[in-house]
Amino acid sequence: MGMTTKKRKSQSSAKSFLICGDEELVQEYGALFSQSEADVYIWHNRKPQLPKRKNFIYTRTLSRVPKKIIAAFELSNLSYERKIGNIIKIENHCAKESLIISSSVTQTVTALTAHLQYPHRIIGLGAFPSLLQNDLVELCRGPFTQNDALKTVGDIFFDFKKEVSLVDDRVGMVMPRILCCLINEATFALQEEVASTEGIDTAMKLGTNYPQGPVEWGEKIGFDHVLSIMDALYFDTGEERYRPSPLLRKLAAGADFASRFLP
Amino acid sequence: MANIIGVIGAGTMGSGIAQVAALAGYRVLLYDIERSALDRGLDVICKNLDKGVEKQKLTKEQSEKARQKIETTVDFILLKNSTTVIEAAVERFDIKKGLFQRLDEMLPHESIIATNTSSLSITALGAVTKRTDRVVGMHFFNPAHIMKLVEIIKGKETSHTTISRITSLTKEFGKTPVLASDTPGFIVNRVARPFYGEALRILGEGVSDIAEIDRIVKKSGGFKMGPFELMDLIGIDVNLSVSKSVYE
């Protein structure tokens, strides 16, 4: 299932990218693209804080974006309506050769495909806050995704020194699913007063060598993002094991000030 | 009274705990029902101490001193002078119950019975004794001489004095104590369940395969080991029994 990336020059003459979606992800992917020379159009409602770069073009409307771009990164996990709205607008605006790389952790690519006229060019992306600081990105294909499209995405990430792994088209993909289930379980434990926030984080780092404690990690990711995955998994499977804890729901509601009311 | 730490069980955990206590300067009495188990345990301790010297984590003197601090016995009654007994016998309630009752009868009033159990209730174990306030969980992680964490588990009637004595002892051992309540799996074995459970689910549903899941978890999540590698290391049988006990 592994997909290794090989060095290959981009075939496309279009040199631009588009980034839009959840603020945290636009920020992270924007930071990634600050290493690139390509024009990067950042389509936003609220201007994200990014390093100053000449190749960044901020826009509130798609009309300023060239029709022919290499790829649009659609990075919404939190709102289905916004995601579908973005995808339809991108589809209507961009040439049919332009790829649509859409975060597919809360929605399958298959579900997104249903909204597209040209579904050969959509690729699912495991876009989830905090994961881009590491070396691997998960991708998945929809029912009509072309191999060339997948290859191009692999090359884009290869240029950023990222490996890719092709996984099946399932909500949560691999890492976001495992990570959010851990964080959810940690919030259940917190809620049941098994230990303090600090105790849980310390225990998981020292007892199992986790790179970060699950509660501090959740705070860094944003509990609203964690909840979006758990809700998606729970909806997808209807299984008790994916039920978000009431504390997680509360932390998600106050994600911006979660540290104030973490137990 | 001399400060003696009794350790019950010379298996992987017991011998690791004995080593840690001896290095902290305590006299240790390591008990097992079988002489051969004690010999094996002591052998492991010596090898680990040698490795410590080799890696320059210990001086030769420290290592020798620690070795001299450890005595072994198959005679249970000799544990009677311990200020603290750390029980690391097999994970069976009936066996631990027998040990706790005998310890309770022969130990001095103020001595503490600590258990390294990873899955049994501290409250239930305490209840077989007449010293429910002096029974506590002291859960080390494998390998005990390396892993820094010790979960300190408060049973329903464990006193604050007991908790603070065991917390201090843990610190003297050079470990980091974390207080946990007496619930299945305590902290680590509970919160870590999805790391394995979800990986198995993801595999079972065909989302990815074993090698890829391990690669993703390490390279995308930044974990040192993938869930399948870790299950292999811990032992799939051990993992299953921990999962079952948390489930039950």
pLDDT digits (tens, 9 = 90+) for A75-94: 999 999 999 999 999 999 99
Using one digit for the tens of pLDDT, what is the confidence trace for B19-44? 999 999 999 999 999 999 999 999 99
The pLDDT value given to residue A29 = 95
The pLDDT value given to residue A5 = 45
pLDDT at A8 over 50: no
Residues of chain B with Cβ-Cβ distance to A171 below 8 Å are none
The pLDDT value given to residue A9 = 43
Q: Is B145 a catalytic site residue? A: no
Ordered by start, the domain boundaries in chain A are 2-166, 175-255
Q: How far is A66 from chain B, CA to nearest CA, in Å? A: 32
The pLDDT value given to residue B234 = 77
Q: How far is B37 from chain A, CA to nearest CA, in Å? A: 26
Using one digit for the tens of pLDDT, what is the confidence trace for A181-209? 999 999 999 999 999 999 999 999 999 99
The pLDDT value given to residue A11 = 40
The pLDDT value given to residue A169 = 97
The pLDDT value given to residue B2 = 67
The pLDDT value given to residue A6 = 45
The pLDDT value given to residue A115 = 92
Q: How far is A162 from chain B, CA to nearest CA, in Å? A: 9
A12 band by pLDDT with thresholds 50, 70 and 90: very low
- Domain made up of A2-166: CATH architecture: 3-Layer(aba) Sandwich (3.40)
**Interface check B5 vs A, CB under 8 A:** no
In B, minimum Cα distance to A211 occurs at B223
**Interface check B227 vs A, CB under 8 A:** yes
- Summarize the confidence of residues B97-113 as an average pLDDT: 97
Q: How far is B211 from chain A, CA to nearest CA, in Å? A: 9
Q: What is the dihedral of CA A63, A67, A70, A75, to 10 degrees?
A: 40
A235 to A110, A195, A242, B126, B204: CA distances (angstroms): 16, 29, 9, 43, 19
- Summarize the confidence of residues A1-27 as an average pLDDT: 69
The pLDDT value given to residue A14 = 55
Residue A208 to residue B181, Cβ atoms within 8 A: no
Which range is least confidently modeled, A9-23, A52-66, B36-50?
A9-23
Residues of chain B with Cβ-Cβ distance to A200 below 8 Å are 187, 191
**Within chain B, what is the greatest distance between any pair of CA atoms?**
62
Of the partner residues A2, A178, A203, the one whose CB lies closest to the CB of residue B217 = A178
Best interface-test mutation with B: which of A136, A221, A248 has the largest number of B CBs within 10 A?
A136
Whose CA is closest to B191, among A171, A128, A199, A100? A199
pLDDT at A13 over 50: no
pLDDT at B119 over 70: yes
A45 band by pLDDT with thresholds 50, 70 and 90: confident
Looking at residue B79, what DSSP letter applies? Answer: G
User: How is residue B220 written in tokens?
Assistant: 């995308």
Return the residue matching tokens 């980091």.
Answer: B176
Please spell the DSSP secondary structure of chain A, one letter per residue: -EE---------S--EEEEEESHHHHHHHHHHHTT--SEEEEE-SS-------TTEEEESSGGGS-S--SEEEEE--S-HHHHHHHHHHHHHHS-TTSEEEEE-SSS-HHHHHTT-S-GGGEEEE---TTGGGSSEEEEEE-TT--HHHHHHHHHHHHHTT-EEEE--S-TTTTHHHHHHHHHHHHHHHHHTTSS-HHHHHHHHHHHH--SS-HHHHHHHH-HHHHHHHHHHHHHHH--GGGPPPHHHHHHHHTGGGHHHH--
A18: which residues sit within 8 A by CB, 6+ positions away?
A: A40, A41, A42, A43, A62, A65, A69, A71, A72, A73, A90, A94
Class of domain A175-255: mainly alpha
Q: Tell me the percentage of chain B whose pLDDT exceeds 90.
A: 90
pLDDT at B142 over 60: yes
Using one digit for the tens of pLDDT, what is the confidence trace for B176-219? 999 999 999 999 999 999 999 999 999 999 999 999 999 999 99
The pLDDT value given to residue A255 = 81
- Summarize the confidence of residues A234-251 as an average pLDDT: 97
The pLDDT value given to residue A217 = 97
**What average pLDDT is seen over chain B?**
95
A176 band by pLDDT with thresholds 50, 70 and 90: very high
In A, minimum Cα distance to B220 occurs at A136
Which range is least confidently modeled, A11-20, A60-69, A82-91, A110-119?
A11-20
pLDDT at B235 over 90: no
The pLDDT value given to residue A263 = 78
Do the strands A16-21 and A71-75 form a parallel or antiparallel pair, or are they unpaired?
parallel
pLDDT at B77 over 60: yes
Complete domains list, chain B, with CATH: 4-181 (3.40.50.720), 192-247 (1.10.1040.10)
**Interface check B208 vs A, CB under 8 A:** yes
Which range is least confidently modeled, A216-230, B59-73, B228-242?
B228-242
Cis peptide before A244 (omega within 30 of 0): no
Please spell the DSSP secondary structure of A10-33, one letter per residue: ---S--EEEEEESHHHHHHHHHHH
